[in-house]
Amino acid sequence: MLNEIDLSRADLNLLVLFEAVIEERHVGRAAARLNISPSAVSHGLGRLRRMLNDPLFVKTPKGVVATARAMELAAPIAEILARVRSVITTAEPFEPATSSRRFTLGAPDGVSAVFLSPLLAGLKRSAPHIEISIRQLLPEEGESSPARAWRNAFAHLESRGMDIAVIPADEIPARFHCLTLYEEDFVIAMRAGHPFAQDAKLDRYVEMRHIVVSLSGDPHGFVDTVLEQHGHRRRTVLTVPNFMFALAIAGESDMLVAIPRRFATIFASRFGLTTVNAPLPLPRFKLSAVAPRAAMMDAGLSWLFGMLSSACEVDRSPGLL
């Protein structure tokens, strides 16, 4: 870490330069991103090398490669810059119509696919210069408590590596602001014309071949837990890492897959699928937008919560699709 003497001559712009170079892995591209000359980037890197006593980046025919020390510094420098940017943007008035801020949202793939299109449409109308980054969030494997299953998301929020997380959790730590966007349940999707759609009963359901969405490849999903509680088992013949992949496979096979209802409403028809209500009581869950309470002093972040809420304002009633 830098001592007090180092800090007295440190330049915050050098950290911005470091961030650009380590992300671009190329001095020329970093210069273009910062709107300065390549020689200015090289000069700044020289100052950083002397200050941190490390080469930081090594030239290659294709650009630069970060040293082990640079890789070690990447995360704390990103956190420092995120906090500084948060302080500055919180202090500045926020005008959606003219702001060019970039917000980072995190969500599971079956969730971001639901709210992203209406959110972008709303931004195009009222805040055309706002930019959005989406990060895929995944629960920790084997965790039954939502507060623990999504602790990585909470950590990213508190480090300001992410502005808002949209997650299916009821147990949100008190230090976070939470807004319920909608409630969700699951339906059963299959190719159009599948015979199961005409007689969607539990005894026939367990006889079918099934797809399970699991990043780890674990074939035992939450549906299997519910089935076991009712004294049944099913045959899982395929696991896939995301819901979109599952829809593509189901549309060209006789396999069934349980998918979120809203996700199905948007995408099932594009893959030639039909859906029915599950023949057993699958759990419902709430999707909530979450951010640190301290961050909610940011007028821009508070506004984005409202935009997310509006993007999710669609019919919540259950039924066939």
pLDDT tens, position by position, 167-190: 988 778 878 899 999 999 999 999
Q: Cα dist. 116→75, 82, 108, 130, 156 in Å? A: 27, 23, 12, 14, 20
Sequence-separated (6 or more) residues with CB below 8 Å from residue 276: 187, 188, 190, 196, 197, 200, 320
Mean pLDDT to the nearest integer, 70-80? 87
Q: Does residue 24 have a pLDDT over 90?
A: no
Lowest-confidence pick of 124-133, 155-164, 276-285: 155-164
- At 12 the pLDDT is 82
What is the CA angle 260-312-288, rounded to 5? 70
Q: Does residue 91 have a pLDDT over 70?
A: no
Q: Does residue 119 have a pLDDT over 50?
A: yes
Q: Does residue 146 have a pLDDT over 80?
A: no
pLDDT band, residue 319 (cuts 50/70/90): very low
Distance separating alpha carbons of residues 144 and 193, to the nearest angstrom: 37
Q: Does residue 76 have a pLDDT over 50?
A: yes
CB atoms within 10 A of CB 142: 9
Nearest alpha carbon to residue 297 among 93, 78, 82: 93
Question: What's the predicted TM-score (pTM) here?
Answer: 0.68
One-letter amino acid of 108: P
Question: What's the chain's average pLDDT?
Answer: 87
**Are the C-beta atoms of 214 and 236 separated by less than 8 Å?**
no
Q: Cα dist. 54→47, 59, 105, 156, 317 in Å? A: 11, 14, 34, 28, 60
Which of helix, strand or coil describes residue 295?
helix
All domains of the chain, ordered by start, with CATH? Answer: 4-91 (1.10.10.10), 102-181+286-311 (3.40.190.10), 186-277 (3.40.190.10)
One-letter amino acid of 12: L
To the nearest 10°, the Cα dihedral for 78, 79, 84, 90? Answer: 120
In terms of DSSP bridges, do strands 209-213 and 186-191 run parallel, antiparallel, or are they unpaired?
unpaired
